[in-house]
């Protein structure tokens, strides 16, 4: 063992055996890091998608604009439960709605949501 370096014993071999910091690499990564606010908002977005019912709603809306009753029928959950979950998704700006006469139709808020969902789905299916 050399003097001046901290050697770490690791029975799982999943961390470096020598503690050292690449200052240039760390500085470059720090420049592109998320702000605290960005990290918080992104974390909240993923947290909202952690619920299976909300995830299924997002999937349904990625295929078509639907009213609450349609979503309820597709997913097999009560209208009341769907309405509650849509409120959560709306508050997080993941879905939006439009009113047409007496009907309210929901869709994904923007293309980013569909991209995020589809990338996650690809990861799960691989």
- The 10s digit of each residue's pLDDT in 77-93 is 999 999 999 999 999 99
Q: What is the pLDDT of residues 33-67, one digit of tens each?
A: 999 999 999 999 899 989 999 999 999 999 999 99
**Nearest by Cα to 82 from 56, 50, 100:** 56
Q: Is residue 6 part of a domain?
A: no
Q: Considering its fold, how many domains does the chain have in total?
A: 1
Question: Could you give the angle at which helices 111-125 and 52-63 cross, rounded to 10 degrees?
Answer: 120
58 within a domain of the structure (yes/no): yes
CATH number at residue 25: 1.10.10.10
Question: Is 5 inside a domain boundary?
Answer: no
- Which domain does 75 fall in, by range? 11-125
Q: How many residues does the chain have?
A: 126
Return d(Cα 75, Cα 91) in angstroms, integer. Answer: 21
Residue 1 in any domain: the answer is no
């Amino acid at each position: 063992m050399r003097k001046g370096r901290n050697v770490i014993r690791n029975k799982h071999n999943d961390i470096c055996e020598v503690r050292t910091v690449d200052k240039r690499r760390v500085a470059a990564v720090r420049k592109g890091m998320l702000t605290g606010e960005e990290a918080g908002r992104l974390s909240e977005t993923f947290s909202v998608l952690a619920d299976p019912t909300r995830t299924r709603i997002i999937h349904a809306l990625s295929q078509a604009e639907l009213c609450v009753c349609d979503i309820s029928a597709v997913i097999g959950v009560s209208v009341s439960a769907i309405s509650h979950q849509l409120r959560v998704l709306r508050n997080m700006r993941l879905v939006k709605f439009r009113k047409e006469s007496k009907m309210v139709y929901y869709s994904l808020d923007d293309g980013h949501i569909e991209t995020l969902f589809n990338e996650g789905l690809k990861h799960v299916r691989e």
